[in-house]
Chain A
Amino acid sequence: MKFAKYIFTFLLLGLAATMWGQAAEPAAAAASEDQFSQIMVYILAIGGALLFIVAMIYVIKVNQFLYKRVLDLEAAKSGAKLPAEALAALAAQDSFWTTLRKKYWEDPVPLDKEEDILFHHDFDGIRELDNRLPPWWVNMFIITIIWAVGYMYYYHWGGDGPSSLEEYTTEMEQAKKEQAIALAGAANAVDESNATALTDGAALGEGELIYKNSCAVCHGPSGEGTVGPNMTDEYWIHGGGIKNVFKTIKYGVPDKGMVAWQKTLSPSDILKVGSYILTLQGTNPPNPKAPQGSIWKEEAAAASPDTTAIPPK
């Protein structure tokens, strides 16, 4: 019978371990992502740990039960009987687990013995019991206080917990590295110094879509200009040609309300929408906004480089 007990224990332990493994696996996979995943890792880890503990307790309980059954059976077989006093003493004595539970978890006085701990005084008929503080509650309180001291130590009193701004610096450095790897592709290697206008239909189609979503509210659905300038005439405030247009879109004109799109559009997207804008030249849409800036001639580009849109230092 003892042998059966061990088999049962191993089976249950195995089951618990499998559950733990399942809980931990997605957690590990998500670990490299963002704050959300980090929190999920914690939740899953804590959940897994709790599950494990519950499973352990269950295993031990089952063991106890089985062991008792074995003893009972053996006692029945041998026909031996314990004296009555010994039986009563056994019944009065709490098992190890009951003692543990009463000490650290909960220990209310049973309802039928309530009278013993009832205060005599009443307030408008309300009476009070003198139950112990629930031990688990006291323990929780103590743990949170210890945690609080530890937290303050780690972040302020001596530990090397990062400040909010140090966290920010780390986050930005990490992002820069990842970004550099992702931008290594040729399509995104483009910037204002080497941009050349795209001509293939698919790219211009994508450019048109970006234009409709992001530019049309200020420059008009056909580029005729409303809040922002007209982009169908040959006048340009910050210089025409794909290089200047690319630069204006990328860095914006913050003093005049042109948004800097580099935080919103990838370099290849800027190139697409810039190229699309250049196809609007000479389309003469209805309700055009009056020309602003000066006439742009591609050959004049070298002579008078635009200086209005300046990349922030």
Chain B
Amino acid sequence: MSRIEQFQYDNRIVRAFGVAAFVFGLVGMLVGLILAIQLIFPAMNLSQYGIPYTTFGRLRPLHTNAVIFAFVGNGIFMGVYYSLQRLLKARMFSDTLSWIHFWGWQVIILAAAVSLPMGITTSSEYAELAWPIDLLITLIWVVFGINMFGTIIKRRENHLYVAIWFYIATWITVAVLHIVRSFELPYSMFGSYPLFSGVQDALVQWWYGHNAVAFFLTTPYLGMMYYFLPKAANRPVYSYKLSIIHFWALIFIYIWAGPHHLLYSSMPDWVQSLGTVFSIMLIAPSWGGMLNGLLTLRGAWDRVRQDPVLKFMVVAVTAYGMATFEGPMLSIKSVNAISHFTDWTIAHVHVGALGWNGFLTFGVLYWLWPRMYRTQLFSIKLANMHFWLGTLGIIFYAIPLYYAGWAQSLMWKEFTPEGILAWPNFLETVNQIIPMYAMRIIGGTLFFVGTILGVYNLVKTAAQGSFLSNEAAEAPAREGRIAKVAGEYWHKWIEQRPIQMLLLSAVLISIGGIAQIIPMVFIDNQVPKISTVKPYTPLELAGRDIYIREGCVGCHSQMVRPFRSETERYGEYSKSGEYIYDRPFLWGSKRTGPDLMREGTGNQNAKSDRWHYDHMIDPRTMSPGSIMPQYPHLADDELDLSLLPAKISALRTLGTPYAHGYEARAIAEAQAQARTVAGRLTEQGVKDTNMENKEIVALIAYLQRLGTDIHVNQNNQK
């Protein structure tokens, strides 16, 4: 028997991440609530007062980033730092690295909270942050990795418990995802263009976006479930074998499923089909986690009735099971044809975020706080109230949005017998679901109020206890690997070898991405070229960057799917070759407003420049009842063309065929085109002066270009 060693667990770092999780949880939820209110009261955007920072387009990424990276992110680190130390019988590798990790992460969040409302965004969902912040994220993630693996190396436990397999897979996959998604070429202090364009950018984006859900919102939380649920229930884990199979299957299959976000888009069919079939095969591995959680509670169900911690965990695991069944269903093409671009998706992700991530975080917090503060939970009654408010909140949030998604989609697709769209005005389909948006606010408010009660309860718990900064523990020193025992599971081999486990995970999670992305990037005929599609003019490029800055992509897609209901409503369906100069791609994932792919001059829905001008200043003059924010600042703010040479140069480096030396002419050409647009506006009766120097002309120039290149041949023929 080896010598017993004394050591201490670091609780302060756990508390710090825990406090950050619930503070940012409140912030993220509050921003969500504001967004929900903006959708029925556009005046809440405040942009009509010339304040550009608070529009829906700019706040939406703030909400998603706050919830994913600030709330859940800090939640992950709280859970990992607590459980890792105890499962390995070792203090964290380095307290200094722990605190660099903590403060670094909070700086990233702060940078996001400042830069996103300022309109500094790449517009790629969940990867919106500017390139310097991307670098910082990489650095901090490496710090986290060193700290985690350092702890693993100096562990006193021979075998790694299942929770740690999940932590390892999380770390390596998030690193790969983040780095590949951040392949971008800076053109200024905060601006950059992605390496890939159009269809390839879309594929990389949803490989990233989908697996951010998988490896940031799912695998680390499964790891936490494997620690905190058996602890709280005081029951053995149901099946060791099930943990092995579902872990490896989950990380291997998950990575392939990204293209289910791109069904019926211009993505080649074979990629879409891979997205579908791997999503279906994902049901069982996902449910493996749910089963192992719920079946661990066998024999403890009577306690679930009394213990708020277990209540939260049971609903969390159930929500996980529902969301991971619904996801594959949404990946079936015929279901996706209805659900995509609607509020159904929003309902789906909130079952996951509020139910699975939210409730598991609350459960863990309620379990941790009394232990770290060496006291009882301040009020079980309050915790139960939180539980019921939260549960009702999820129901009141999700059900109206499921209804809204179905209703709106069916209205989009309905035809009269004469073959005319039954609801040709997009706005009618929006106004139809406004009551559902109102009900969603009630749901969100309930959940938010519940969270406030939770915070109060935890603060009071802390106040009545005394914090244990360093928790004494003891364990025998580790004396190298244990030799194989006859009849033991083969998997015990790798459980003693963290490096091999890391490498095997890295290989397994790379296969799916490589199989999809490499052919798309290197095989030319995957994206058939269209000879008339040309790069944007400098002014259009400037306008496009304004479109990106304002977050227009949050509500407007640029992807006409090959359905009769879409080609009749918007025009010709989108071709992959039309997007080859789109850096970043702007297909969008939600249609709160209509698709804009065919908005440009010459298309069936094209509007005059004046229409766009008036509509930007106040959408309700041209579309009474519209819920779009006003953008008067675009007509007031000076158009800054100074970055154009750098942008042109960056894009040429990435492959856009701008002639050499075009940088020198770019500004003059942009100004000339701006004068033309301004001239047309004056001609059409806009009374403002000096319009050629305002941002709005660049945006109009871009909008009038959208989806027009494929018509060039037709126009030439006539």
Contacts and interface: CB of A to CB of B under 8 A. Distances in A.
Contacts of A165: 562
A131 B239 CA distance: 5
B383 interface: no
Nearest to B230: A126
A83 to B, nearest CB: 37
A85 interface: no
B277 A151 contact: yes
A80 interface: no
Interface stretch (A69-77, A178-186, A197-205): A178-186
A256 interface: yes
Contact of B413 (A35, A38, A266): A35
A264 B413 contact: no
Interface in A93-128: 108, 111, 114, 118-119, 121, 123-128
A246 to B, nearest CB: 16
Contacts of B298: 108, 111
Contact of A39 (B231, B245, B338): B338
Interface residues of A, number: 72
B241 A133 contact: yes
A257 B606 contact: yes
A167 B337 CA distance: 12
B159 interface: yes
B709 interface: no
B658 interface: no
Interface in A243-298: 252, 254-260, 263-266, 289
A227 interface: yes
Interface in A60-91: none
B601 A144 contact: no
Given A227-B614, A254-B602, A264 B420 contact: yes
B416 interface: yes
B608 A35 contact: no
Contacts of A126: 161, 227, 230-231, 236-237
B238 A131 contact: yes
B421 A264 contact: yes
Contacts of A264: 420-421, 424-425
Contact of B685 (A168, A182, A226, A256): A226
B609 A257 contact: yes
Interface string A144-175: 11011001100110000001110110011001
Interface in A124-147: 124-134, 137-138, 140-141, 144-145, 147
Nearest to B287: A137
Nearest to B335: A39
Nearest to A139: B284
B608 to A, nearest CB: 3
A256 B603 CA distance: 10
A119 B239 CA distance: 10
B605 interface: yes
B307 interface: no
A118 B239 contact: no
A144 B280 contact: yes
B419 A182 contact: yes
A183 B239 contact: no
B157 A255 contact: no
Contacts of B624: 217
A299 interface: no
Nearest to B608: A257
B212 interface: no
A227 B242 CA distance: 66
B371 interface: no
A215 interface: no
A175 B415 contact: yes
A42 to B, nearest CB: 8
Given A227-B608, A264-B421, A265-B420, A111 B335 contact: no
Contacts of A259: 604-607
B43 to A, nearest CB: 20
A188 B418 contact: yes
B306 to A, nearest CB: 19
Contacts of A172: 564, 567
Contact of B241 (A38, A132, A226, A228): A132
Contacts of B335: 39
B637 interface: no
Contact of A182 (B410, B417, B605, B718): B417
Nearest to B492: A121
A310 B718 CA distance: 10
Contact of B563 (A141, A168, A178, A265): A168
Interface stretch (B62-70, B121-129, B265-273, B588-596): B265-273
A175 B413 CA distance: 13
A128 B229 CA distance: 13
A133 B245 CA distance: 9
Given A163-B269, A227-B622, A310-B718, A130 B240 contact: yes
Contact of A121 (B159, B287, B684): B159
Nearest to B157: A123
B452 to A, nearest CB: 32
A142 to B, nearest CB: 9
A152 B273 contact: yes
A218 B240 contact: no
A35 B241 contact: no
A36 interface: yes
Contacts of A119: 240
Contact of B239 (A123, A129, A171, A256): A129
B87 A124 contact: yes
B250 to A, nearest CB: 11
A312 interface: yes
Given A127-B236, A144-B283, A313 B714 contact: yes
Interface string B393-427: 00000000000000000100101111111001100
Nearest to A290: B685
Nearest to B332: A39
Nearest to A268: B418
Contact of A164 (B269, B419, B622): B269
Given A130-B241, A151-B273, A188-B418, A263 B334 contact: no
9 contacts: A124-B231, A126-B236, A128-B237, A132-B241, A133-B242, A182-B419, A217-B621, A258-B608, A263-B569
Given A168-B573, A264-B420, A264-B424, 6 more contacts: A36-B410, A126-B230, A130-B240, A131-B241, A171-B564, A255-B602
Interface of A: 34-36, 38-39, 108, 111, 114, 118-119, 121, 123-134, 137-138, 140-141, 144-145, 147-148, 151-152, 155-156, 163-165, 167-168, 171-172, 175-176, 178-179, 182-183, 188, 213-214, 217-218, 226-228, 252, 254-260, 263-266, 289, 310, 312-313
**Shortest beta-carbon contacts, A-B, top 5:** A257-B608, A179-B419, A141-B284, A148-B277, A264-B424
